[in-house]
Structure 1
Amino acid sequence: MQRATELALDEKTVAALRGALKTTADEVVQAIIDEVPSYANALSGRMGGTIRRAVRTALGHYLDLAGGKATGGDASDAAYELGRGEVRDGRSMDALLSAYRVGARVAWRGLAAGAVPAGLPAAEVAKFAELTFAYIDELSAASAAGHADELAARGLAHERHLAQLSRDLLAGAAPEVLLADAQRAGWQAPTSLTAVLLPATQARPVYRSLDPRTLVVDDLPDAMGVLLVPDADRAHLLRQLTDRAAVVGPVRPWMRAAASYARAVRARSLSPDIRDTEDHLVPLVLSADADAYADLRARALAPLRALPPSSGRRLEETLRAWLLHHGRREEVATALFVHPQTVRYRMGQLRDLYPDLTSPQRVLELTLAVGLPVADR
């Protein structure tokens, strides 16, 4: 507050102005209530009394400055904290600046009413006006800085809380942990979440077109990111991702988002061409435990592996077609581009290899064993 010290008022004038402080402070508060809607309720009751005292303190401090008895540091600090407090009370900086403008006008009117009768010369009154408004401007600037800093701090804290919630969801944390995370982040929990796995560089651009509650993690291994989309319309979501290298997991209750994420990761490991995991449930099921599937295939197809490779491959193709067409010989022959008698001959060979070929358990094992094309066929 360097400029306010440029004016040195005599003690008589300062005393006269101090006598009008209480009335002026009350008039400032009432004018703000009347003219700035955001403060209509905030300045009533006990809070109104606190604000009135704060206004009197600020005006008194200014008179100390103008009388050469104080510096501006304390007032600036108080204004800075006022700006921060406005964020906590949910008010914008526009509302506070409006209050400052109204307060400056009313405060000047009240102080001038005391300065003129006290004998302050006209030139000094003009200078007093200039410095009064400069003082209010400097308080406004300090409050604006406090408001901006509080918003930035809250934004960073909010981002940290959302990031923690996202990580705990992907890790499958306990419900009580997730509920606490959501509360700290101020995140309104949806009914469901759908995981979308995509390159990290695409995560933020896609996020901007989705529900604002969507959670983003863009620092996964292999330069991948994930979006957790709340209550998604799946068809619409897939259309939004048409031009993206994205894998969409299943819809899951929001606390089970880890399951949606895990399936998307597994689908991506199967093929880079998978987009909708719902269209690839069979390979996803059969690849869920790769070792178990390999063991099942080795056991179920052992009789075929004992044959010469070419014979084994022909019988495996015949077996697959027979299972697919439920034993209907004509349809099997059409699928294999062979004569029905060839199918009959090959099926005779298969029955020799598998005496229990038509038993439910054998049919299930063989269906699973020949259900997917794999590298060792």
Structure 2
Amino acid sequence: MAQTTSDPPWLSLPTEVSDLIRPRVGDIVEAIIEGIPRDVPVYAMPMEGRFGEGVRRGVSIALGRFLDLPGTRLPALSDDGKWVYEGLGRGEVRSGRSLESLLAAYRYGARVVFRAISRTVDVSRMPPEVLLSLGESLFAYIDELSAASAQGYAHEQSERAGEQQRLRGELLETLLRGDATEAAVARSAAGIGWVLPETVAVAIVPFPHVEGLRAALGPDVLVAERGTDVVVVAPLATSSDRALLHRALRGRHAIVGPARPWVDAAESLQLATSASAHGLATTASSATLPSPEVAGPQGASKPSPAATSSKDAKDADGARSGARTGGPLWVDEHLADLVVHAEPLATADLARRRLAPFESLRPAVRARLAETLLAWLRHQGQRAPIADELFVHSQTVGYRVAQLRELLGDDLDDPQARFELELVLRAGHR
């Protein structure tokens, strides 16, 4: 029979090989089942119950199918056979074993079959090309079994990862709704191996910036799609937690709500959402992190134990540096801005009154003086930090402040007027 390169190697095997082996199938199956626990230690267990039945069935089907192949162009596995070996691969995932253990068992079975054929057939009288085809056929057949099991193994892993992610998403939603009992939340968390942290922060990340987010955050952080954003629930008990979260969210235009006990996670989300709605994320590039401190349950800061470890201090320093280069916006650093934006109509009225002296100025001059005024109010009139913030010479600061005094007069010395001016300028009015 003419054979092409696309034909399976068993096409050239004489059917007599199968005829000679069939009477010994039962013995060969038993030899394989007895030897697997010795050759593959992970299977060193009684071959009984569902496990034993599965192994016996797999070996019997594999050997029976192999003996049907000589002299044919049949595929290595029938549809039913492929299903069986995919199932064995899935079973390895469920049992917590590696795929390599199963593949080693397949290789052991192939050796037993080859030895059985060698004892049954006078190999010395077998034509070399037949012996070569026998070896190639066994290798090719085991490769097909292995491929089917690898596919089943991968599918099971993927499905389990998807199910795990679904459960993590459900837990995130439960935390954010805040309508479940503590016991129910604890059970859900335990079911996915997530340790409930005492304190969490909820972050919002826009969809265009979520690539690689889960890998960056790690398994201790819950991540799920929610509307047009991805929402993150992260432990936030120490400055180290804060720095790690900052690094993972850097460059993603994220908004991080204040720290809260996990039972109040919805409050953290509410404040992050409000900050997003009021456009506070545009100030993220100027956000800074506090010195190594721990965010308390209600967003207040308190010194960390022993003034934090040196590692925590390094993490916090790195996070502060990242903030200066455009890191995420931390709402607890912009609470005053959030309050200012809460009543935009009232703020607009106040701005028209307090900034009335600026009306006659050209837009460019008005913007420059308003920027200087805000820096002057923020730094309590200290020229050096004002100059640093505005990237100008201190003499330029003095010149601009003199202009402001001409415009505003005694208002610059009135505490109430200064407060209202800073309020409207922080709200973005110019």
TM-score range, shorter chain: 0.5 to 0.7
> Which of 231, 234, 246 is the matching residue for 2:254?
246
1:102 matched to 2:136? The reply is: no
Shift of 1:137: 1.9
Q: Deviations over 1:300-333 (max 9, x none)?
A: x9xxx9xxx99xxxxxxxxxxxxxxxxxxxxxxx
Decide whether the 8 Å contact of 2:10 with 2:70 is kept in 1: yes
Query: What amino acid does structure 2 have at the position aligned with 1:58?
Result: A
Instruction: Please give the secondary structure, in 1, of the residue aligned with 2:210.
Output: helix
> Which of 124, 149, 153 is the matching residue for 1:147?
153
Q: Deviations over 1:246-283 (max 9, x none)?
A: 33222233343222111222233263326333334456
1:48 matched to 2:52? The reply is: yes
Shift of 1:126: 4.1
Q: Distance in 1 between matches of 2:225 and 2:54?
A: 46
Distance 1:255 1:94, change over 3 A: farther
Query: What amino acid does structure 2 have at the position aligned with 1:228?
Result: V
1:261 matched to 2:311? The reply is: no
Q: Distance in 1 between matches of 2:421 and 2:196?
A: 38
Q: Distance in 2 between matches of 1:285 and 1:125?
A: 85
Determine what percentage of the aligned residue pairs are the same residue.
32
> Which of 10, 18, 21 is the matching residue for 1:17?
21
Q: TM-score scaled to structure 2, two decimals?
A: 0.57
Q: Deviations over 1:64-112 (max 9, x none)?
A: 33387x9741333322222222222222322222222222122211232
Decide whether the 8 Å contact of 1:193 with 1:230 is kept in 2: yes
Q: Distance in 1 between matches of 2:257 and 2:158?
A: 34
Query: What amino acid does structure 2 have at the position aligned with 1:210?
Result: L
Aligned to 2:63: 59
Unaligned runs of 5+ in 1: 311-336, 348-365
Higher Cα radius of gyration: 1
Q: TM-score scaled to structure 1, two decimals?
A: 0.63
Q: Distance in 1 between matches of 2:421 and 2:255?
A: 23
Moved more, 46-55 or 235-244: 235-244
Decide whether the 8 Å contact of 2:21 with 2:117 is kept in 1: yes
Q: CA RMSD in A?
A: 4.6
Shift of 1:179: 5.7
Shift of 1:37: 3.6
Aligned to 2:207: 200
1:212 matched to 2:216? The reply is: no
Q: Distance in 2 between matches of 1:286 and 1:225?
A: 27
Q: Deviations over 1:2-36 (max 9, x none)?
A: 554553423xx645423433332233234432333
> Which of 136, 153, 158 is the matching residue for 1:130?
136
Query: What amino acid does structure 1 have at the position aligned with 2:55?
Result: I
Q: Distance in 1 between matches of 2:184 and 2:212?
A: 29
Aligned to 1:331: none
Aligned to 1:358: none
Moved more, 120-129 or 134-143: 120-129
Decide whether the 8 Å contact of 2:172 with 2:224 is kept in 1: yes
Query: What amino acid does structure 1 have at the position aligned with 2:148?
Result: A
Instruction: Please give the secondary structure, in 2, of the residue aligned with 1:208.
Output: helix
Shift of 1:164: 3.7
Decide whether the 8 Å contact of 2:186 with 2:196 is kept in 1: no
> Which of 229, 238, 256 is the matching residue for 2:234?
229
Q: Distance in 2 between matches of 1:109 and 1:254?
A: 63
Query: What amino acid does structure 2 have at the position aligned with 1:260?
Result: S
How many equivalent residue pairs? 310
Instruction: Please give the secondary structure, in 2, of the residue aligned with 1:250.
Output: coil
